[in-house]
Amino acid sequence: MTAVSPAKITKWQIATAAEAYAAARFARMGFNVSVQYGANQPEYDLMIDKGGRILKISVKGSTDGSWGLTQTQLSALKSANYHGAADAWLSRHRRGTVLCLVQFEGTSADEMPRMYLASPEDVAHRLRAAASGRGDSILFEKRTRGPKATGAGTEERIPDEWRLNEERVEQLLRSLALDEATDANLGSD
């Protein structure tokens, strides 16, 4: 079967499919999944829970090998301040929210998309480091910068450790628990 043409599916269909695949994947890993339908919360699309440990998941689907994440913050700054846009985007995310990046590019309708899980801090760091440190508003799954681009010849790619699997979910849950413990200790001083 051939890959579905991005022109044949709408942004809404991409977002709906991405959320459904993400929910199914987390459920398959043994998490309880709460999916929002209708008016979505602005920060997350679904929540997962296992043993009282909860993560809010913001699902981002794509059919072109990239996720545009900070363009609205960039335009609000009225300058090409990619680091400032990444910082503004990061400030909109609260603790306990992670991003599930779902990539349909090159997959057929009967194949699973590639999925990644990252903290907002991880993503903001990658956005700031893009283009040899100039920064970017788009996170690329895998891209080599062209000869005339800033950072020409550099390859940007999603780290392998971001692949959505049980180990990655546990890593992010542990990180969240450590952050909460640190906050509790700081608050008791």
pLDDT at 184: 55
pLDDT, residue 151, reads 79
CATH class, domain 6-187, is: alpha beta
Q: Which residues of 19-47 are buried (b: 16+ CB within 10 A; e: fewer)?
A: bebbbebbeeeebebebeeeeeeeebbbb
Report the pLDDT value the prediction gives residue 152, as an integer from 0 to 100: 82
> What does the pLDDT read at residue 157?
93
Q: What is the pTM of this model?
A: 0.87
What is the pLDDT at residue 39? 61
Instruction: For Cα atoms 108, 111, 115, give the angle at the middle one, nearest 5 degrees.
Output: 110
Tens digit of pLDDT for each residue in 57-96? Answer: 999 999 999 999 988 887 777 777 999 999 999 999 988 8
pLDDT at 154: 84
pLDDT in tens, 145-183: 888 888 788 889 999 999 999 999 999 999 887 666 555
| Spatial CA neighbour of 82 closest among 63, 68, 64 | 68
What pLDDT does residue 182 have? Answer: 55
Q: What is the mean pLDDT of residues 36-64?
A: 88
Tell me the pLDDT tens digit for each residue of 91-131. Answer: 999 888 999 999 999 999 899 999 999 999 999 999 999 99
Find the helix or strand (DSSP H, E) in which 58 lies.
strand 53-62
| Distances 31 to 18, 28, 89, 166 between C-alpha atoms, Å | 17, 7, 28, 10
Q: What are the domain boundaries of the chain?
A: 6-187
